[in-house]
Protein backbone atom coordinates (compact mmCIF):
# COMPACT_ATOMS: atom_id res chain seq x y z
CA UNK A 1 0.00 0.00 0.00
CA UNK A 2 1.55 3.28 -1.14
CA UNK A 3 0.14 6.64 -0.01
CA UNK A 4 1.30 10.09 -1.12
CA UNK A 5 -0.35 13.42 -0.37
CA UNK A 6 0.83 16.76 -1.80
CA UNK A 7 -2.52 18.52 -2.08
CA UNK A 8 -4.55 18.70 1.12
CA UNK A 9 -8.14 19.74 1.57
CA UNK A 10 -7.26 22.13 4.44
CA UNK A 11 -3.61 21.55 5.44
CA UNK A 12 -0.72 23.28 3.65
CA UNK A 13 0.45 21.49 0.51
CA UNK A 14 3.71 19.65 -0.05
CA UNK A 15 5.82 19.37 -3.19
CA UNK A 16 7.25 15.87 -3.43
CA UNK A 17 5.15 13.36 -1.44
CA UNK A 18 3.25 12.15 -4.51
CA UNK A 19 6.49 11.96 -6.50
CA UNK A 20 8.00 9.81 -3.74
CA UNK A 21 4.94 7.54 -3.61
CA UNK A 22 5.01 7.06 -7.38
CA UNK A 23 8.75 6.28 -7.26
CA UNK A 24 8.25 3.64 -4.57
CA UNK A 25 5.29 2.09 -6.43
CA UNK A 26 7.33 1.98 -9.67
CA UNK A 27 10.23 0.19 -7.92
CA UNK A 28 8.15 -2.59 -6.34
CA UNK A 29 7.51 -4.76 -9.45
CA UNK A 30 11.27 -5.08 -9.99
CA UNK A 31 11.44 -6.53 -6.48
CA UNK A 32 8.94 -9.22 -7.41
CA UNK A 33 5.69 -7.63 -6.27
CA UNK A 34 2.89 -8.11 -8.83
CA UNK A 35 1.34 -4.83 -10.01
CA UNK A 36 -2.15 -6.05 -9.00
CA UNK A 37 -0.92 -6.18 -5.38
CA UNK A 38 0.19 -2.53 -5.35
CA UNK A 39 -2.47 -0.20 -3.98
CA UNK A 40 -1.54 3.40 -4.79
CA UNK A 41 -3.54 6.19 -3.12
CA UNK A 42 -2.59 9.75 -4.08
CA UNK A 43 -3.96 13.12 -2.98
CA UNK A 44 -7.82 13.07 -2.98
CA UNK A 45 -7.78 9.22 -3.13
CA UNK A 46 -5.79 9.19 0.12
CA UNK A 47 -8.66 10.13 2.44
CA UNK A 48 -8.83 8.85 5.99
CA UNK A 49 -11.79 6.66 5.05
CA UNK A 50 -10.02 5.14 2.03
CA UNK A 51 -6.85 4.41 4.00
CA UNK A 52 -8.67 2.89 6.98
CA UNK A 53 -10.98 0.87 4.74
CA UNK A 54 -8.13 -0.57 2.70
CA UNK A 55 -5.97 -1.36 5.75
CA UNK A 56 -8.75 -2.49 8.07
CA UNK A 57 -11.35 -4.05 5.74
CA UNK A 58 -9.88 -5.05 2.34
CA UNK A 59 -6.35 -6.17 3.25
CA UNK A 60 -7.38 -8.46 6.14
CA UNK A 61 -9.47 -10.40 3.59
CA UNK A 62 -6.73 -10.47 0.93
CA UNK A 63 -3.54 -10.97 2.94
CA UNK A 64 -2.57 -14.39 4.32
CA UNK A 65 -0.42 -15.19 7.36
CA UNK A 66 2.68 -16.02 5.32
CA UNK A 67 2.37 -12.85 3.19
CA UNK A 68 4.38 -9.70 3.76
CA UNK A 69 2.82 -6.26 3.64
CA UNK A 70 4.66 -3.01 2.92
CA UNK A 71 2.99 0.33 3.66
CA UNK A 72 4.59 3.61 2.54
CA UNK A 73 3.19 6.99 3.60
CA UNK A 74 4.50 10.33 2.34
CA UNK A 75 2.67 13.40 3.56
CA UNK A 76 2.09 15.42 6.70
CA UNK A 77 2.48 13.98 10.17
CA UNK A 78 1.56 15.68 13.43
CA UNK A 79 2.14 15.26 17.15
CA UNK A 80 -0.34 16.10 19.87
CA UNK A 81 0.63 16.50 23.55
CA UNK A 82 -1.42 14.46 25.98
CA UNK A 83 -2.69 16.13 29.20
CA UNK A 84 -1.27 13.39 31.42
CA UNK A 85 2.12 13.57 29.74
CA UNK A 86 3.46 12.02 26.60
CA UNK A 87 2.46 12.54 23.00
CA UNK A 88 0.35 10.95 20.30
CA UNK A 89 1.49 10.88 16.69
CA UNK A 90 -0.75 11.12 13.61
CA UNK A 91 -0.50 10.59 9.87
CA UNK A 92 -2.49 13.29 8.09
CA UNK A 93 -4.50 12.09 5.07
CA UNK A 94 -5.83 14.29 2.26
CA UNK A 95 -8.93 15.27 4.28
CA UNK A 96 -7.07 15.62 7.58
CA UNK A 97 -7.49 18.82 9.55
CA UNK A 98 -4.50 19.88 11.67
CA UNK A 99 -6.91 21.54 14.14
CA UNK A 100 -9.02 18.37 14.50
CA UNK A 101 -6.44 15.59 14.37
CA UNK A 102 -8.29 12.95 16.35
CA UNK A 103 -11.36 13.01 14.15
CA UNK A 104 -9.67 13.50 10.79
CA UNK A 105 -6.17 11.98 10.91
CA UNK A 106 -4.90 8.45 11.56
CA UNK A 107 -3.36 8.12 15.02
CA UNK A 108 -0.46 5.79 15.60
CA UNK A 109 -2.58 3.93 18.15
CA UNK A 110 -5.27 3.39 15.52
CA UNK A 111 -2.63 2.24 13.06
CA UNK A 112 -1.41 -0.26 15.65
CA UNK A 113 -4.94 -1.57 16.18
CA UNK A 114 -5.60 -1.87 12.45
CA UNK A 115 -2.28 -3.72 12.03
CA UNK A 116 -3.57 -6.37 14.42
CA UNK A 117 -6.46 -7.09 11.99
CA UNK A 118 -4.12 -7.96 9.12
CA UNK A 119 -3.08 -11.64 9.19
CA UNK A 120 0.37 -11.06 7.62
CA UNK A 121 3.16 -12.12 9.94
CA UNK A 122 5.36 -9.31 8.66
CA UNK A 123 4.25 -5.73 8.05
CA UNK A 124 6.79 -2.99 7.31
CA UNK A 125 5.86 0.69 7.41
CA UNK A 126 8.02 3.42 5.87
CA UNK A 127 6.85 6.88 6.88
CA UNK A 128 8.14 10.05 5.23
CA UNK A 129 6.28 12.64 7.30
CA UNK A 130 7.13 15.48 9.65
CA UNK A 131 6.82 14.62 13.34
CA UNK A 132 6.43 10.90 12.59
CA UNK A 133 8.76 9.58 15.28
CA UNK A 134 5.84 8.67 17.55
CA UNK A 135 4.69 5.43 16.09
CA UNK A 136 3.91 2.04 17.53
CA UNK A 137 5.12 0.86 20.91
CA UNK A 138 8.20 -1.27 20.99
CA UNK A 139 7.71 -4.76 22.30
CA UNK A 140 10.85 -6.64 23.21
CA UNK A 141 10.90 -10.35 22.42
CA UNK A 142 10.48 -12.61 25.44
CA UNK A 143 13.19 -14.87 24.04
CA UNK A 144 16.90 -14.34 24.50
CA UNK A 145 18.84 -13.79 21.26
CA UNK A 146 21.24 -16.46 22.56
CA UNK A 147 18.51 -19.12 22.67
CA UNK A 148 18.78 -22.14 20.37
CA UNK A 149 16.96 -21.48 17.08
CA UNK A 150 16.35 -17.80 17.95
CA UNK A 151 16.30 -16.53 14.33
CA UNK A 152 13.96 -19.29 13.17
CA UNK A 153 11.59 -18.63 16.07
CA UNK A 154 11.48 -14.82 15.72
CA UNK A 155 11.04 -14.89 11.94
CA UNK A 156 7.86 -16.91 12.43
CA UNK A 157 6.42 -14.38 14.88
CA UNK A 158 4.14 -11.51 13.91
CA UNK A 159 6.32 -8.46 13.39
CA UNK A 160 5.41 -4.83 12.75
CA UNK A 161 8.42 -2.74 11.69
CA UNK A 162 8.36 1.00 11.25
CA UNK A 163 10.96 3.20 9.61
CA UNK A 164 10.38 6.92 10.03
CA UNK A 165 12.18 9.90 8.58
CA UNK A 166 11.35 12.51 11.21
CA UNK A 167 11.50 12.49 14.97
CA UNK A 168 8.56 13.74 17.04
CA UNK A 169 9.78 17.35 17.04
CA UNK A 170 11.48 17.36 13.67
CA UNK A 171 10.13 18.65 10.36
CA UNK A 172 11.19 16.69 7.27
CA UNK A 173 12.71 18.61 4.39
CA UNK A 174 11.87 18.15 0.72
CA UNK A 175 14.60 18.74 -1.83
CA UNK A 176 15.73 17.71 -5.32
CA UNK A 177 12.29 16.36 -6.22
CA UNK A 178 11.97 13.94 -3.29
CA UNK A 179 11.78 13.67 0.49
CA UNK A 180 14.88 12.21 2.17
CA UNK A 181 13.42 8.68 2.38
CA UNK A 182 13.42 8.21 -1.39
CA UNK A 183 16.80 9.66 -2.37
The reported pTM is 0.81
DSSP per position, 133-150: ---SPP---SS-TTSTTH
DSSP 8-state secondary structure symbol assigned to residue 13: P
Q: What is the full per-residue pLDDT of the chain (183 aa) written as tens digits?
A: 999 999 999 999 999 999 999 999 999 999 999 999 999 999 999 999 999 999 999 999 999 999 999 999 999 999 888 899 888 889 999 999 999 999 999 998 899 899 999 999 999 999 998 765 444 444 445 666 677 776 676 666 677 767 776 555 545 554 555 455 444
Question: Where does the chain have alpha helices with state H?
Answer: 17-27, 48-53, 59-62, 101-104, 108-117, 150-156
Q: How far apart are CA 135 and CA 162, in angstroms?
A: 8
Annotated domain spans of the chain? 2-164
DSSP 8-state secondary structure symbol assigned to residue 178: B
Q: What are phi and psi of 81, to 5 degrees?
A: -75, 140
- pLDDT for 82 equals 86
Q: Within 10 A of 31 (CB to CB), how many other CB atoms are there?
A: 7
Give the closest residue to 38 by CA, choosing from 72, 75, 65: 72
Q: What are phi and psi of 165, to 5 degrees?
A: -90, -45
Q: Residue 81 to residues 27, 65, 106, 127: CA-CA distances in angstroms?
A: 37, 36, 15, 20
Fold entry, domain 2-164: Rossmann fold (3.40.50)
Judge whether 76 and 130 are in contact, CB under 8 Å.
yes
Amino acid sequence: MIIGVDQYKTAPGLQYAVNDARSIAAALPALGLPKENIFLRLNEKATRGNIVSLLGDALPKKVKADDRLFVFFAGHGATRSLPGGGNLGYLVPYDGDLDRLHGTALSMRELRDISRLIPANHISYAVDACYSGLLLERAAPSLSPKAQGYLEIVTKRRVRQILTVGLKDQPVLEEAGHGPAVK
